[in-house]
Structure 1
């Protein structure tokens, strides 16, 4: 799911940086600037918790350290999205963030590059899992249940492939996925997201993951794969397979 496959209601949130209309792999633009190691915070509610654990010596908390920027280098195209760690060597993101890649480049909150070992995608949800070579700085716990309407949430990611950002809002409710990329219902929140936010974790007030951002509505609402779907994909290996690459 990306901007080209969206509808008038939704736009995908993997940011396309360049498309080279050539047969085979064309020349690509240079790498974007390193991930800025500071933080933007935009809260629509003052009472939303933005952390999950103690601060590290550099002033970042666990919720911020677990988020990564993912750069998809395709055959003649570049795009960026976000993701987050769920253990020392596993990232969660969206299927459309990693699909059709020649290589995945991962950057952490402190600007460190982490190599991807393998990526897999879910068949019934816009979710993907990336295994890394190096250990990740921090990882998230998953909430046991989906959030109820009215629950406060925080989104942590890399909108526009740039600075790490945190935005907060409220769960509005649930709806059938308008893009038909997910089995069952998805969540709707009023937390602000932007291109490049695909794959960002949605956290509850205790810093636990309650969903994964995958799209933005025309009215500014954000659409989220709920944690119940994420848990179902993690519990059933038959639901995932190797991520498609641009070369075959």
Structure 2
């Protein structure tokens, strides 16, 4: 495919990825979403570690993927936007750069409706990634896959579309493409797992509950785009990859 043709083909992607910041972090909401019910959910102290066989399911029936998902509300100087994220460890979560940029305040909440105080956010210069340090402990963290998935592999996306209820959607990896927004990033993954505004920053998981990518965009055909776990791992291992997130003043 010639470069000019590729750019025309990806134009709707770029437009909608510019909307996925509308999709993920820049969709204005009329009012704060209602918290997830807490009556049937154990406290963080009761969350068991992953099973010895690598399964991420907990004995009480709650998937660790749900436990580690975080809803993010970005209170900016110009309005409110929402996104998703997931715990990397007890006091660190991963999300998209566009979800946390230009904020005056970040409001975080867990799957059980508990508020978590944010301490500091840092954004990557290369990929649409960010990390947020938290004051309060996050309920659970997933395992990062050792390698990127292959075409045809199953994928599950866990996040907060529209900034509301925690949702789990399934699909498959359908291919890879040069990142339409950040060409210097290289290849990103394409899946048919449904995502919506507010899904940006969601974890994409393999069949064993391991993170294989981070949702950051969708195109006009409803395909979702992932920063692959290999890129996430490389950037987390680079002390120079992240810088303090820009705020709105």
State the Cα distance separating 1:180 from its structure 2 match: 2.2
> Over aligned residue pairs, what C-alpha RMSD do you find?
2.0
Q: Is 1:207 the counterpart of 2:209 in the alignment?
A: yes
User: What are the equivalent positions in structure 2 for 1:226-241 lying under 5 Å apart?
Assistant: 226-241=228-243
Partner of 1:95: 97
Greater helix percent: which structure?
2
Partner of 2:99: helix, strand, or coil?
Answer: helix
Does the aligned pair in 1 maintain the 2:25–2:100 contact within 8 Å? no
**CA distance 1:8–1:109, change in 2 (3 Å):** same
Return the offset for 1:224.
Answer: 0.3
Q: Name the residue aligned to 1:127.
A: 129
Q: Distance in 1 between matches of 2:94 and 2:186?
A: 19
Note the C-alpha offset of 1:7: 4.4
Spell out, residue by residue over 1:32-71, the C-alpha distance to the aligned partner (whole angstroms, 9 max, x if none).
3224569xxxxxxxxxxxx9523364x4221110001000
CA contact (8 A) 1:176 1:184 kept: yes
The answer to whether the aligner puts 1:156 opposite 2:158 as a matched pair is yes
Aligned residues: 220
Render the CA deviation track for 1:201-243: whole Å, top value 9, x for unaligned: 0001111000000001100100000001100110001011000
Counterpart residue number, 1:105: 107
Conservation of the 8 A alpha-carbon contact between 1:211 and 1:226: yes
Matched, 1:14 2:21: no
Taking the TM superposition and a 5 Å limit, the aligned residue runs for 1:37-52 are: 52=55
Q: CA deviation at 1:87?
A: 0.5
Residue aligned with 1:31, SS: coil
* Alignment correspondent of 1:219: 221
Deviation at 1:114, TM superposition (A): 0.1
**In 2, Cα distance between equivalents of 1:191 and 1:239:** 28
Which residue number corresponds to residue 67 of structure 1?
Answer: 69
Q: TM-score normalised to the size of structure 1?
A: 0.83
8 Å contact from structure 1 (residues 95, 122) kept in 2: yes
2-structure distance, mates of 1:55, 1:243:
34
C-alpha contact 1:7 1:179 (8 A) present in aligned 2 = no
**Is the contact between residue 118 and residue 135 of structure 2 (CA under 8 Å) also seen in structure 1?**
yes
1:85 aligns with 2:95: no
5+ residue gaps in structure 2? Answer: 1-9, 40-53
**Unpaired runs of 5+ in structure 1?**
1-5, 20-28, 39-50
Contact persistence 1:124–1:181 (CA under 8 A): no
User: Which structure features the higher share of strand residues?
Assistant: 1
TM-score (norm 2): 0.83
Question: Which deviations, in whole Å up to 9, do the C-alpha atoms of 1:151-187 show, x marking residues without a partner?
Answer: 1110000001111000111101110011227611100
Instruction: State the 1:30 CA deviation.
Output: 5.0
1:24 aligned partner: none
What SS does the corresponding residue of 2:240 show, helix, strand or coil?
Answer: helix
Q: CA contact under 8 A between 2:27 and 2:197: conserved in structure 1?
A: no
